[in-house]
Amino acid sequence: MRKLFIAILCTTMLVSCKDKNGGITTDIINNPKGTGDPDYLPIMTFDEERIDFGTIKEGDKVTKVFKFTNTGKSNLVISNVSATCGCTVPNNWPKEPIEPGDKGQIEVTFNSQGKSGQQVKQITILANTSPGQNTVALAGIVDSPSEMPEESH
């Protein structure tokens, strides 16, 4: 009976350490020296924290890539990437640890359907950094099709 209880407990702990996308949460990542000392944590240093996609027509989709380097002293693990609305979708990001000095990228697609004017969409990256949340932004202008002028009679 005791072995069954321990097996159930271990299974529950492992399942609770997964996020909704099946990735590892930052809760179970052990940083070097086990101190949580910020000097030993990974650091995400982005080439650009805000990418301007310019002016596009409503209905167009634009994909941009946020490039970064792990400038910290331990492996960087990204547990999740999300955006402020459903029109902006993070497509690809590294699922494996990124060693100090190595580079990675996050691909993001913005769908302008139903949007107009100035757009700024934030992308949030959860990782084993300090703080555990990093933010970048995708920005630009969406031109709506102009209304057809009414015909004069």
pLDDT of residue 146: 65
Q: Provide the whole-model pTM.
A: 0.72
Helix (H, G, I), strand (E, B) or coil at 108: strand
CA max distance for the chain = 89
Per-10-residue mean pLDDT, the chain, length 153: 50 45 45 58 97 97 98 96 95 95 98 96 95 95 69 49
Is residue 88 within a helix (H) or strand (E), and if so which, with residue range? strand 88-92
